[in-house]
Copies of this chain bind each other. A is one copy, B any other.
Amino acid sequence: MQINKNFQKIESSYLFSGIAKKVREYKAANPDKANSVISLGIGDVTRPLAPACIEAMHKAADEMANAETFRGYPPEYGQDFLLEAILQNDYLARGIALDKSEIFVSDGAKSDCGNIGDIFSNDNVVAVCDPVYPVYVDTNVMSGRAGDKTENGWSNIVYMPCTAENGFLPQIPDCHVDIIYLCFPNNPTGMAATKEQLKPWVDYANREGAVILFDSAYEAFITTPGVPHSIYEVEGAKTCAIEFRSFSKTAGFTGVRCGYTVVPHDLKADGVELNAMWARRQATKFNGVSYITQRAAEACYSSQGKQQIRETIAYYQRNAKTIYEGLKACGFTVYGAVDSPYVWLKTPNGMGSWEFFDLLLEKMQVVGTPGEGFGPSGEGYFRLTAFGSAENTEKAVERIKAYFAK
Contacts and interface: CB of A to CB of B under 8 A. Distances in A.
Given A8-B272, A110-B286, A54 B48 contact: no
Interface in A1-21: 1-5, 7-8, 10, 12-14, 17
A257 B288 contact: yes
A326 interface: no
Interface string A110-152: 1100110011111110000000001100110010000000000
Interface stretch (A60-68, A184-192, A357-365, A372-380): A60-68
A14 B283 CA distance: 7
A156 interface: no
Given A48-B66, A54-B62, A290-B255, A285 B111 contact: yes
Nearest to A144: B122
B4 A280 contact: no
A120 B7 CA distance: 10
A260 interface: no
Nearest to A274: B3
A223 to B, nearest CB: 24
B110 A287 contact: yes
How many copies make up the complex? 2
B73 A254 contact: yes
A269 B135 CA distance: 25
A236 interface: no
Given A61-B54, A72-B254, A255-B71, A115 B285 contact: yes
A57 interface: yes
A277 B3 contact: yes
A193 interface: no
A177 to B, nearest CB: 9
Contacts of A277: 3-4, 7
A45 interface: yes
A51 B66 CA distance: 10
A108 interface: yes
A284 B142 contact: yes
Contacts of A114: 284-286
A160 interface: no
Contacts of A269: 1-3
Interface in A224-272: 252, 254-257, 269-270, 272
17 contacts: A1-B178, A1-B179, A1-B210, A1-B211, A2-B120, A4-B119, A4-B121, A4-B122, A42-B73, A45-B72, A48-B65, A49-B70, A61-B61, A74-B257, A107-B287, A142-B281, A293-B293
| Nearest 7 CB-CB pairings of A with B | A114-B285, A2-B121, A44-B72, A1-B178, A14-B283, A71-B255, A72-B254
